[in-house]
Amino acid sequence: MRIPILFAVAMLVAPQTIEARGRCSAVDGDTLRCGRERIRLIGIDAPEMPGHCRAGRRCVIGDPFAARYSLTRALVAPIAIERVGRDRYGRTLAFVSASGKDLSCIQLRRGQAKYRADWDKGGRIGRC
């Protein structure tokens, strides 16, 4: 009886990776929509779409449309989603890769996002 319970707990706690093809779209430069699920890329902050930078918040400077387009381009390949939690807005926090390349790292390399060490679980994106 202990083994099934331990297995069930491990499945709930362990990050889960799934493959997704053609069912995700870019909301902005750091967020995806996969069906009804919103997925926030870990470790980066991209420019907000018009009307989404709330008063008093320090939003990333840049072209939000270019950031979203950059992320959209990366979604042509099958993606793997490694879910690690939820943020205060209820979005899934995840490491997402396309053809083995991390999407947060792609956005950083293309200059479409800023690195946020305080949002990088385990420093993984800081090693891009």
Q: What is the pTM of this model?
A: 0.78
Write down the pLDDT at residue 19: 56
83: β partners: 16, 94
CB 53 within 8 A of CB 73: no
Domain count, the chain: 1
The reply to whether 3 falls in a domain is no
The reply to whether 107 falls in a domain is yes
Q: Which domain covers residue 21, as residue numbers? A: 16-127
Residue at token pair 């991390």: 102
The reply to whether 86 falls in a domain is yes
Q: Is the dihedral angle over the CA atoms 116, 122, 126, 128 positive or is it negative? A: negative
CATH value at residue 66: 2.40.50.90
In three state form, how does the secondary structure of 48-70 look?
CCCCCCCCCCCCCCCCHHHHHHH
Give residue-wise pLDDT tens across range 27-47. Answer: 999 999 999 999 999 999 998
Confidence check: pLDDT of 63 > 50: yes
The reply to whether 70 falls in a domain is yes
The reply to whether 1 falls in a domain is no
Residue 20 pLDDT level (bands cut at 50, 70, 90): low
Write down the pLDDT at residue 18: 54
